[in-house]
Structure 1
Amino acid sequence: MEADELIGHNGVFKVKERLLKRHQARIEDVERRKEAKENHTVIKESVDYFLSTFSGERAAIEELLSRCMGVDQKAAAQLLEEATNKTVQLQKFLNDSMVFLTTYDQRQAQAALQKLQTCLTETREQALPKKKFAFRARCKAADKAPESVMDPLNDGAPEKCDSTQVEGDPAGVQCGFSHMSNTVLAKTAEEIQKEDVLLSHLSNCKVCLYGTPSTLHLKHIDNCEILCGPVSTSVFVDQCQHSTLALACQQLRTHNTSDTLVYLHVTSRAIIEDCQRVSFAPFSWSYPTLEDDFRAAGLDPDRNNWDQVDDFNWLAAGTPSPNWAVIPKAERRTTWEA
């Protein structure tokens, strides 16, 4: 009889234990649901705040650009500088918000920023038109560039820079190099500080840009090596092939590019479109003032998304794009002497 009572007691105990566990599981499930709901609410509120703030700041920049027309050049220059600074801050705001934005929201915001950059450039060209000018050759860049920038076709002697410059108003200076081949080129920090730099129609060239340009545009680049210091906002690459690029920036957009190696430091995400056989590795170019230039450009040297690449031609979720790859460690460049 005592044995039967013990069995009955154990049975009741086990039932109570199961009920207790089930009750505990329900409590935990309720807590999980509550936490998930709260997290969802926080994320939704964060996204709503981002979209509202981003839209407002974009409208403010567009309004500044619209005011540039019909005023004198001094006033236009001030408005353009304010618009540029606001665009830089808007890019930083987007970078900091990437963790909770959907891919769609990221792409929409990045596309809006690119349109702002284009509008900024076009407005600058209209509001600060270039004066009539004559071409002249300048050698300042080569004289001030580090001795490592050498011309391999000239027995190691530094190559003189003969980039096209514009006489007259400094606001009309065309900063960059165009339609050149088989040469080594350089620009100093003083020449490109906060400038929009354009490199176009270059072949078999090496270009070193020291300092912190506002934006960098590369167009029609063939078999070149291009090294650039930290860019405050965006780098735009179009029609580049068989080249090596070393770039640091907030945003990289690459179009119509093939067979190109990119050594990259980017604080948002790189974007490629209509590209094939583009490979990436961490930025590894260095020069004496690089650390100071990172600070001047407002880039975080510890935040590098070099291998986070969005391919706008490849939307298959969970499957890597065949259009880009990571450069194997054993094949990455670590020295950049001419």
Structure 2
Amino acid sequence: MEANEPGDHNGVFKVKERLQKRHQARIEDVERRKEEKDNHAVTKESVDNFLSTFYGERAAIEDLLCRCPGVDRKAAAEMLEEATNKTVQLQKFLNDSVVFLTTYDQRQAQAALQKLQTCLTETRERALPKKKFAFRARSKAADKAPESAMDPLNDGAAENRGSTQMDGDAGGVQCGFSHMSNAVLAKTAEEINKKDVLLSNLSNCKVCLYGTPSTLHLKHIDNCEILCGPISTSVFVDQCQHSTLALACQQLRTHNTSDTRVYLHVTSRAIIEDCHRVSFAPFSWSYPALEDDFRAAGLDPDRNNWDRVDDFNWLAAGTPSPNWGIIPKAERRSTWEA
């Protein structure tokens, strides 16, 4: 028996060692689960705080908009300005919160913001109606006039054959270009800053927008090149084809668009829906006041999610959407003619 004692001791030691390891593993497992539970609680608290704050602020903005039609023009303009600023801040709040929000919560909040932006635009149109909306057709005499004598509302368009110019009131309701083709068009910062800009029914046009519009809407764009300075909030694109866009914004939503290249700076995630053959590259258009305009628009020049695109028609997790892609570096534009 004595000869077996060392082996017995070794066996007992190994058993104790295994028991200690199991006990330690249990302790570590308990601590891990507790940490996960604590992290989950923190995340849940953050999400709950976000939802409460976000939808509470949205309700306050909606209340402002509901009161606009019942006040005089000056008061309505002030309330709309406040609602616009609050909407910009709400978008920034959402952008800063995406790290802990679920995809569902992000989409719901973004949809609520889009609806709010639409309501803001519609309320502005009712409370501050445009003073004039004119179709301006150049006469033969105007075609022969020197460039300095051209109507400034046409921005020196070289080949305008029938333009629609939307003129906002003193509060800056809306401006842009519509129903034009084969034209070179431009607007200055004084014309578009803090305004909603609409470009619609354009074909074979080049458009340069210098400054910081509040929002940019593109509708029915065909074979155009559109360059725009930093947009304070959102860009909405619908029915665009065979075009090149250079945009800097907080949010990009693109619908029913095909064969279009987008040079993008966006601080949230871009969204596409019902799109085909849309490709992206970093924003590369430049002009002398661009850096100042980034600051005026409240955009962070160092935060660009140009290649983070959500396709609402492609829900296959882990598989890239076939509806969009990246423009190869060798094919990207680095210089743009004015």
The TM-score, its normalising length taken from structure 2, stands at 0.90
Q: Does 1:250 find its partner at 2:263? A: no
Residue 231 of structure 2 aligns with an amino acid whose one-letter code is V
Q: Deviations over 1:247-290 (max 9, x none)?
A: 11111110110000011111111111111111111111111111
State the distance in 1 between where 2:248 and 2:192 align: 15
Q: Does 1:226 find its partner at 2:226? A: yes
Q: Cα 1:133–1:6, aligned 2, differ >3 Å: closer, same or farther?
A: closer
Residue 201 of structure 2 aligns with an amino acid whose one-letter code is H
Alignment match, 2:262: 262
State the distance in 1 between where 2:181 and 2:127 align: 32
* SS, match of residue 202 in structure 1: strand
* SS, match of residue 70 in structure 2: coil
Q: 1:319-330 counterparts in 2 under 5 A?
A: 319-330=319-330
CA RMSD after TM alignment: 2.2
More moved, 110-119 vs 312-321: 312-321
Pairwise CA distance, 1:92: 0.4
Q: 1:13-24 counterparts in 2 under 5 A?
A: 13-24=13-24
Alignment match, 1:190: 190
Q: Deviations over 1:70-124 (max 9, x none)?
A: 2110000000000000000000010011111111111111111001110000000
State the distance in 2 between where 1:94 and 1:271 align: 15
State the distance in 2 between where 1:134 and 1:32 align: 68
Q: 1:107-118 counterparts in 2 under 5 A?
A: 107-118=107-118
Q: Cα 1:229–1:12, aligned 2, differ >3 Å: closer, same or farther?
A: same
State the distance in 2 between where 1:332 and 1:19 align: 63
State the distance in 2 between where 1:239 and 1:300 align: 29
Q: Cα 1:289–1:253, aligned 2, differ >3 Å: closer, same or farther?
A: same
Unaligned runs of 5+ in 2: 137-149
Q: 1:55-66 counterparts in 2 under 5 A?
A: 55-66=55-66
Alignment match, 2:74: 74
Identity over the aligned pairs, expressed in percent?
85
Pairwise CA distance, 1:135: 6.3
Alignment match, 1:288: 288
Question: 8 Å contact 2:166–2:177 — kept in the other structure?
Answer: no
Question: 8 Å contact 1:68–1:76 — kept in the other structure?
Answer: yes
State the distance in 2 between where 1:127 and 1:173 align: 10
Alignment match, 1:139: 152
Residue 317 of structure 1 aligns with an amino acid whose one-letter code is A
Q: Deviations over 1:277-319 (max 9, x none)?
A: 1111111111111111111111111111111111111122222
Pairwise CA distance, 1:11: 2.0
State the distance in 2 between where 1:284 and 1:172 align: 28
Unaligned runs of 5+ in 1: 144-149, 154-158
Pairwise CA distance, 1:172: 6.5
